[in-house]
Structure 1
Amino acid sequence: MADGTTRGKRRLARFIKQLQDKSGLTAEEIARRTRVSRPTVTRLLQGTHLARWPSVSVILDELGAPPELKTFLLQMWEVADVDNALVEHAMALPIKYRRFRMDELEAYGERSLDTTYIHGLLQTAAYAEALAYASHRLIIGDTWDETAAAERLTRQQLLTRESPFALHALIDEAALRRIVGGPQVMREQLDHLVKAAALPNVTIQVLPFGVGAYGPLLSALVLLDFPEADAPCAAYTEEISGLAMLEEQHEVEPLDGIWRDAVAIALAPDQSVEFIRAVRDTLGDS
């Protein structure tokens, strides 16, 4: 099975870790009793590797998993290994961003707060390419700036697929006024935001300078919501080295609260569209 952390592997690992905690067995003891290698057991418990089912099955038996739970975990195991092929251009993506994209595919909704740049699901190709070029010193390889535009367009198919998920984007005025790629690129980008706001599954709200401070200084915050009742919301914050993921509830809940507080002070969706149009008018015509 493939290495690499996906939400499915992490979710499976949480269930197995609960069984391990009840058993009191260490990873080394589990490995010795089941004759599964210790690295395999450790990575399975960490959610970074999906062992073959025979190995998982014997581990579950050793941990005393009841038959109905084992059947449930088998179903979870079968869908846990998300194939990179589902993410177009996957091998060209920075690893943290690739993991986020794989999680995003499984989500039914996304909530964002962007204080510096336009959210990725709302970017034009030219805007995405300009951003990628600006960050090229942090990217390994020399093709990301060329790939970024195409990657953004394929990612945005989430918004128009047969069963599209909902996007609720909060955008700071600073992101609207930052001239990325030049005036023409920004004109097209702001026009695109107005069009995107008309989609039934997209909500855009602007945080104008007048609202003052809100929450800690975050350049970007993304919250992914998943369909399973036992699956917690996942939060991602922008760091200089890429997106950092948080899934523990004590870490996610404050960020969820920050997002909801920002919604309460942001302009209403219709007012936000008018605000975007006003900023667009300051750039004149091409």
Structure 2
Amino acid sequence: MIRRRVLARQLKLLREQSGLTLEQAAPKLDFSVSKLSRIENAQVLIDVHWVKSMLDVYDVGGARWTELVDLAREANQPGWWRAYGLGNNSYIAFETEASRVHELSVTYVPGLLQTADYARALMRPVPLRRTAEQMEGEVAARMYRQQRLTSTENPLEFVTVIDESALHRLVGGPDVRRGQLGHIAALAELDAVTLHVLPISVGAHAAPPSGFLILSFGDLGEPDMAYVEHTLGALSLDKDGDVARARLTFERVLSDALDPAESLALVRRLARS
């Protein structure tokens, strides 16, 4: 998803640099104007042959030609999550390309910190038709995502604020909760993870009930994105104003949260209780 956006943005820039409008470029490519617009807005899979034709029309060659053709091939590769039986999943696609994720989690422990038992316990009440095999595939994919927290080749920086109430919730029962808290404590010691807990004693706070995430994409040059999951689906937002509001909300909640050392101490106390 993100690589398709990067490719689309580059193709649009090359068209503009060549001095062609959408209306001028489309017939040279045997495209309709609407088709070329959808390509440039990353609304469709971008065929490698289309990219080659566009680069020829825009008079792009050499290393740049090879770079963009390779990017087109990468953008069309099926995501790693397909091996776990999952269909197209926009959030996993975004997170896979992200270099840093900030997550505000109000109700449950974030997926990047969950144990397999906790994840299963969360999935069981959800009114989706899943076979046991499909559930295990989703759980395995969630565990696979966590590998980036210890990866040296493709690391992911994770900063999270978790409402303390989520740590008290008996998801899966006392043993699952205890194992989950121990898992959080272990991951919180990783350099890639920064844990903050929003204590119950704060009372009213700025966090919305759904929580949200902010993803940053590092060297890919894509703008930061806010992502919100809710009962009826999910919403991704990349307009500057929306992301700025999400970032301001995160910072306000962070100012009320415990620091990492205090947060880790609290998690350890709860794990022993």
TM-score range (shorter-chain normalised) is 0.7 to 0.9
Determine which of 67, 75, 79 is the counterpart of 1:81.
Answer: 75
Q: Quote how far apart the aligned CAs of 1:205 are.
A: 0.6
Q: Does 1:187 align with 2:178?
A: yes
**Equivalent residue runs for 1:181-220 within 5 Å:** 181-220=172-211
Letter in structure 2 aligned against 1:245: S
Share of identical aligned residues, percent? 30
Letter in structure 1 aligned against 2:140: A
1:43 aligns to what? 38
Distance 1:210 1:71, change over 3 A: farther
Q: Quote how far apart the aligned CAs of 1:17 are.
A: 4.3
Determine which of 138, 144, 155 is the counterpart of 2:145.
Answer: 155
Q: Distance in 2 between matches of 1:91 and 1:38?
A: 36
Q: Tell me, yes or no, if the aligned pair for 1:8 and 1:76 is still in contact at 8 Å.
A: no
Q: Tell me, yes or no, if the aligned pair for 1:204 and 1:269 is still in contact at 8 Å.
A: yes
Q: Residue 84 of structure 1: SS of its match in structure 2?
A: coil
Q: Quote how far apart the aligned CAs of 1:7 are.
A: 0.7
Q: Distance in 1 between matches of 2:227 and 2:65?
A: 26
Letter in structure 1 aligned against 2:91: F
Q: Does 1:115 align with 2:106?
A: yes
Q: Distance in 2 between matches of 1:158 and 1:7?
A: 18
Letter in structure 2 aligned against 1:84: P
Q: Distance in 2 between matches of 1:255 and 1:201?
A: 22
Distance 1:255 1:85, change over 3 A: closer
> Deviation per CA, 1:196-215, whole angstroms, max 9, x where unpaired?
11112111110012223333
Letter in structure 2 aligned against 1:75: E
Distance 1:277 1:262, change over 3 A: same
Question: More displaced, 76-85 or 125-134?
Answer: 76-85
Q: Quote how far apart the aligned CAs of 1:140 are.
A: 5.0
> Deviation per CA, 1:118-173, whole angstroms, max 9, x where unpaired?
010100000001111121x1x35434433232222111111122332211111001
Q: Does 1:14 align with 2:21?
A: no
Q: Tell me, yes or no, if the aligned pair for 1:194 and 1:276 is still in contact at 8 Å.
A: yes
Q: Tell me, yes or no, if the aligned pair for 2:225 and 2:236 is still in contact at 8 Å.
A: yes
Q: Tell me, yes or no, if the aligned pair for 1:36 and 1:55 is still in contact at 8 Å.
A: no
Q: Tell me, yes or no, if the aligned pair for 1:114 and 1:171 is still in contact at 8 Å.
A: yes
Q: Tell me, yes or no, if the aligned pair for 2:22 and 2:33 is still in contact at 8 Å.
A: no
1:133 aligns to what? 124
1:243 aligns to what? 234
Q: Distance in 2 between matches of 1:218 and 1:252?
A: 18
Q: Tell me, yes or no, if the aligned pair for 2:22 and 2:37 is still in contact at 8 Å.
A: no
**Equivalent residue runs for 1:95-110 within 5 Å:** 95=88, 98-110=89-101
Letter in structure 2 aligned against 1:55: W
Q: Distance in 2 between matches of 1:160 and 1:92?
A: 24
The two structures, once aligned, show a CA RMSD in angstroms of 2.8
> Deviation per CA, 1:172-192, whole angstroms, max 9, x where unpaired?
012111111111110110111
Give the gaps of 5 or more residues in structure 2. none
Q: Quote how far apart the aligned CAs of 1:10 are.
A: 1.6
> Deviation per CA, 1:37-85, whole angstroms, max 9, x where unpaired?
66753431231334334423444565xx5748x9657624523515335
> Deviation per CA, 1:186-242, whole angstroms, max 9, x where unpaired?
011011111111112111110012223333514231122112273211221112233
Distance 1:77 1:201, change over 3 A: same
Q: Residue 243 of structure 1: SS of its match in structure 2?
A: strand
> Deviation per CA, 1:96-134, whole angstroms, max 9, x where unpaired?
xx2221222222221111000001010000000111112
Q: Distance in 2 between matches of 1:185 and 1:274?
A: 19
Distance 1:204 1:130, change over 3 A: same
Give the gaps of 5 or more residues in structure 1. 1-5
